[in-house]
Amino acid sequence: MSLNLLNLDAAQLVSFFADIGEKPFRAKQLLRWMHQFGEADFSKMSDLAKPLREKLAASAVIKAPQVVSDATAADGTRKWLIDVGNRNAVETVFIPETNRGTLCISSQAGCALDCKFCSTGKQGFNRNLSTAEIIGQLWIASRALARDAGGTPARGAAKALGATPKGERVISNVVMMGMGEPLANFDNVVTAMHLMLDDNGYGLSRRRVTLSTSGIVPAIDRLRDACPVALAVSLHAPNDALRDALVPINRKYPLAGLLAACRRYLDRAPRDFITFEYVMLEGVNDGAEHAQQLIDLVRDVPCKFNLIPFNPFPNSGFKRSSRDAIRRFAEILLAAGLVVTTRKTRGDDIDAACGQLAGKVEDRTRRTRRVVEIHSC
């Protein structure tokens, strides 16, 4: 079976070329062709000698996963359904804004953590995505956006992340916030992020790559050492009793240990704060007492809060907090000196809003044995 070179970061490519008797600098050349130019055909890589191109064609491939569908919402949000094989599919979402474009990437087919407000977790887990399937989502999106903008994959300062004819970057930020728990697929996710950060790959800064986790404490410490990007923590509750119910991983890694890991992470983080994500559930975690508990909880953790209006899904058992409740909650946090934003719902007309990403998973857990529609948060 041919080796898929999309699975390899720079260091791994150097080893690959050494194994076939080639110099280390070939890794940089190939990275640029794959990720800055979006090229998958070795014969078109003009600065590689013809014998090397033939050698690569005989032993390796550059293969991204296949796109099943591609939809664009009225607000410009774009969603790709990506086939990852064996009746599994994940979704990738591009969110355009005035000063940036954010790509939301999945890391697993399904999720095993079973967060109660998240349909992905409620409906099972199949497997971790490979590095090629993770970075392939960025590869697909950058090529598509560059093509639609009338340009080629960006070069130079724009680093091939999908460019307009003027060379302006289309994808400026990547968030590991799609389907799955990224830290439960640690090695493949970190390899993919190395490619995002590599100047010969996508050239993103660590501040512009964000990993969102439900709170796997040992893996947060590993991430700090291996690839410290911006960190977002799915908090969703101000005390252990409520978080145990909403985010079951809290039973293994309670809040005290999680917040201690956040403080340790800041020693090497590219930003001087942790983002805490907090989905707003009517009558569950949106009261004034919850806001005050949050203030007390994070008193010694530099942070900002991102309040997320809950996007209902069938049989969720939850309702979205009212606008007034979210506003009052935010005002309490703001009055205590915390930085607070409220996430705007985007792409809901194509089911691309937070909590609405629809894919397909063949569940391998005990919760269900059927193929189900999944909705990621």
pLDDT at 364 over 90: no
Cα distance between residue 107 and residue 293, in whole Å: 32
Confidence of residue 120 (pLDDT cuts 50, 70, 90): confident
Residue of 277, 268, 183 whose CA lies nearest to 232? 277
Q: Distance between CA 273 and CA 79 in Å, rounded? A: 30
Lowest average pLDDT, out of 189-203, 286-300, 337-351, 362-376, goes to 362-376
pLDDT at 286 over 90: yes
C-alpha distances out from residue 44 to 24, 47, 57, 66, 337, Å: 20, 9, 11, 21, 56
Q: Does residue 274 have a pLDDT over 60?
A: yes
Query: What are the structure tokens assigned to 349, written together?
Result: 């007309």
Q: Which CATH class is domain 66-376?
A: alpha beta
Confidence at 160, pLDDT banded by 50, 70, 90: very low
- Please state, as a whole number, how many other Cβ atoms lie within 10 Å of the Cβ of residue 278: 26
Alpha carbon separation from 49 to 3, 204, 320 (Å, rounded) = 20, 29, 59
Q: What is the pLDDT of residues 94-118, one digit of tens each?
A: 999 888 999 999 999 988 888 888 8
Alpha carbon 292 to its chain centroid, in Å, reads: 30
Per-residue model confidence (pLDDT) at position 58: 96
The pLDDT of residue 371 is 38
Q: How far apart are CA 185 and CA 164, in angstroms?
A: 33
Stretch among 50-59, 110-119, 171-180 having the lowest mean pLDDT: 110-119
For residue 8, the surrounding DSSP H or E stretch is none
Residue 277's nearest CA partner among 348, 359, 177, 134 is 177
Fold: same for 3-61 and 66-376:
no
Q: Which amino acid is at 335?
A: A
3-state secondary structure of 276: strand
pLDDT of res. 161:
45
Q: Residue 346 has what pLDDT?
A: 55
Q: If you average pLDDT over residues 34-38, what whole number do you get?
A: 96
Gyration radius (Cα) of the chain, Å: 21
Q: What percent of the chain has pLDDT over 70?
A: 88
Query: Is residue 153 predicted with pLDDT exceeding 70?
Result: no
Query: Sign of dihedral through CA atoms 256, 262, 265, 267?
Result: negative
Q: Where are the domains of the chain?
A: 3-61, 66-376
Do 330 and 353 form a contact (C-beta atoms < 8 A)? no
The conformational region for residue 112 under phi > 0 = left, psi -120 to 50 = alpha, else beta, is alpha
Closest alpha carbon to 68 in 360, 370, 373, 377: 360
For residue 370, the model assigns a pLDDT of 39
Query: pLDDT tens, 229-255?
Result: 999 999 999 999 999 999 999 999 999
Rounded to whole angstroms, how far apart are CA atoms 96 and 172?
10
Q: Write the DSSP string, 195-233.
A: HHH-TTTT---GGGEEEEES--HHHHHHHHHH---EEEE
Extract long-range pairs of 164-169: CB within 8 Å, 24+ residues apart. Answer: 169/101
φ/ψ of 232, rounded to 5, equals -120, 135
Angle (CA) 227-4-86 rounded to 5° is 95
**Res. 352: pLDDT tops 80:** no
Asked whether the predicted pLDDT for residue 4 surpasses 50, the reply is yes
Q: What is the pLDDT of residue 121?
A: 74
**What are the residue numbers of the active site?**
91, 354
Query: Poorest-confidence range of 38-47, 177-186, 283-292, 309-318?
Result: 309-318
- CATH architecture, domain defined by 3-61: Orthogonal Bundle (1.10)
Other C-beta atoms closer than 10 Å to the C-beta of 65 total: 23
At residue 165, does pLDDT exceed 60? no
Alpha-carbon gap, residue 130 to 146, rounded angstroms:
25
Matching residue, tokens 């005989």: 58
Can you tell me the distance from the alpha carbon of 185 to that of 357, in angstroms, rounded to the nearest whole number? 20
pTM of the prediction?
A: 0.90
The model's pLDDT over 305-323, given as tens digits with 9 standing for 90+, comes to 999 999 888 888 899 999 9
113 DSSP 8-state letter: S
The number of CA neighbours under 13 Å toward the Cβ of 139 is 29
| Average pLDDT across the chain, whole number | 89
3-state secondary structure of 146: helix
Residue 367: predicted pLDDT:
55
Q: What pLDDT, on the 0 to 100 scale, is given for residue 312?
A: 83
Q: Look at the block and give the residue holding tokens 């992020």.
A: 193
Q: Quote the pLDDT of residue 246.
A: 96
